[in-house]
């Protein structure tokens, strides 16, 4: 075996909540062959495998009695460029924000609204990550994944990934597919998305009249840094709950009691509610019990002030879910994967 395993490894450095649980075994994979070898060895040993990237979408509530495989593959490249349309590819282990910044430095537009999102390239399609009016699916062209059941490689196009709101084929089939590399279609010509949130206002405040992709990225980074805590300083996984999509009739019942409810009509007649607004109205913003809490500036973010366990964070999340259901009749769904 060329891939070495370590025993009883703390996963605290490998999850942005900073939860201190142990992996029975831990290894890193830097290429396809190391991925295959680690999975094969785990199968022969009868061990379950948890694959992780940046650990920004995990809530670990217990020790992992198996192998934790950390995707550490690196590489980003231009596959084609006709002067207008560019296709780029990045390995799954590439950190997302540095990859976005690399694309902007090459003069490629399209990823600027997705700046400063934590995590890795390989995890981005799983959640169909999105921010400020843009989702991964909007710039996605394909990916290569390993079928953990057959050991075969398969390429997926946009339609086959079945992307939804913070959802994909890969999220709906946990443990089946291991994403190895992802391809994006970008452009030399900026098509600015400025109307979601305070992006346009921030650019005006900065005196930017004709924004470039880099200027949009810089504005979004400044907004995110003001609103969201840095996981290196305060353990968190970003937005903890999805914005719920509910029936319009329920929104009208809520609006009768709360006229200022933040709601976004959807094309299918349903309405997306701002989960953060619901949580703040329920009085959870800034709540703290021990080292588990809700961020004082952003009620959508649960935080670990230092030594909270994953179980304590999960308990807080369930209490918030129960309260929102009782008050508003709305079920909140967690974004992070629970282990």
Exposed (0-12), middle (13-18) or buried (19+): which is 8, by Cβ within 10 Å? Answer: exposed
Catalytic residue among 148, 166, 181, 202: 166
| Radius of gyration of the CA atoms of the chain, in A | 21
Residue 235: C-alpha distances to residues 20, 131, 313 (Å): 11, 20, 11
User: What does residue 37 show for φ and ψ, rounded to 5 degrees?
Assistant: -65, -45
Q: Active-site residue among 168, 239, 299, 309?
A: 239
Tokens representing 311? 């179980």
In sequence order, which residues have a C-beta less than 8 Å from that of residue 53 and are 6 or more positions away?
70, 71, 92, 93, 119, 120, 122, 123
166 annotated active-site: yes
Say if CB 127 and CB 115 are below 8 A apart: no
Q: Which residues pair with 135 in a beta bridge?
A: 130
- 272: tokens are 């997306």
HSE (side-chain half, CA atoms, 13 Å) at 128? 21
The question of whether 160 is a catalytic residue gets the answer no
Q: Which two tokens stand for residue 180?
A: 């190895």
200 has catalytic annotation: no
DSSP string, 243-306: PPEE-HHHHHHHHHH-TT--EEE-TTS-EEE-HHHHHHHTT-TT-EETTEEE-SS-TTEEEE-S
Q: Residues with catalytic annotation?
A: 166, 239, 335
């Amino acid at each position: 075996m060329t891939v070495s395993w370590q025993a009883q490894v703390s996963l605290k450095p490998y999850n942005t909540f900073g939860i201190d649980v142990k992996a029975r075994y831990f290894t890193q994979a830097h290429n396809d062959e190391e991925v295959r070898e680690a999975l094969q060895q785990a199968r022969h040993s009868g061990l379950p495998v948890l694959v992780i990237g940046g650990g920004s979408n995990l809530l670990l509530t217990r020790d992992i009695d198996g192998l934790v495989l950390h995707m550490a593959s690196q590489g980003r490249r231009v596959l084609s460029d006709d002067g207008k349309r560019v296709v780029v590819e990045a390995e799954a282990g590439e950190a997302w924000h540095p990859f976005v910044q690399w694309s902007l430095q090459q003069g490629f537009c399209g990823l600027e609204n997705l700046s400063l999102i934590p995590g890795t390239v390989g995890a981005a399609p799983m959640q169909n990550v999105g921010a400020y009016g843009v989702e991964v699916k909007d710039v996605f062209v394909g990916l290569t994944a390993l079928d953990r059941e057959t050991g075969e490689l398969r390429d997926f196009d946009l339609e086959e990934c079945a992307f939804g709101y913070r959802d994909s084929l890969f999220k709906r089939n946990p443990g089946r597919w291991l994403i190895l590399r992802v391809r994006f279609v970008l452009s030399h010509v900026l098509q600015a998305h400025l109307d979601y949130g305070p992006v346009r206002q921030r650019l005006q405040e900065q005196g930017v009249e004709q924004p470039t992709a880099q200027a949009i990225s810089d504005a979004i980074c400044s907004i995110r840094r003001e609103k969201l805590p840095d996981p290196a300083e305060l353990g968190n996984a970003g937005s903890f709950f999805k914005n719920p999509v509910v029936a319009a009739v329920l929104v009208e019942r809520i609006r009768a009691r709360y006229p200022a409810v933040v709601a976004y009509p959807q094309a299918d007649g349903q309405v997306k509610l701002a989960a953060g607004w619901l949580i703040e109205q329920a009085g959870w913003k800034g709540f703290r019990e021990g080292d588990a809490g809700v961020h004082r500036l952003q009620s959508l973010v649960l935080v670990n002030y230092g030594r909270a366990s994953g179980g304590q964070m999960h308990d807080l999340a369930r209490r918030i879910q129960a309260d929102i259901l009782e008050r508003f009749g709305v079920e909140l769904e967690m974004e992070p994967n629970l282990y």
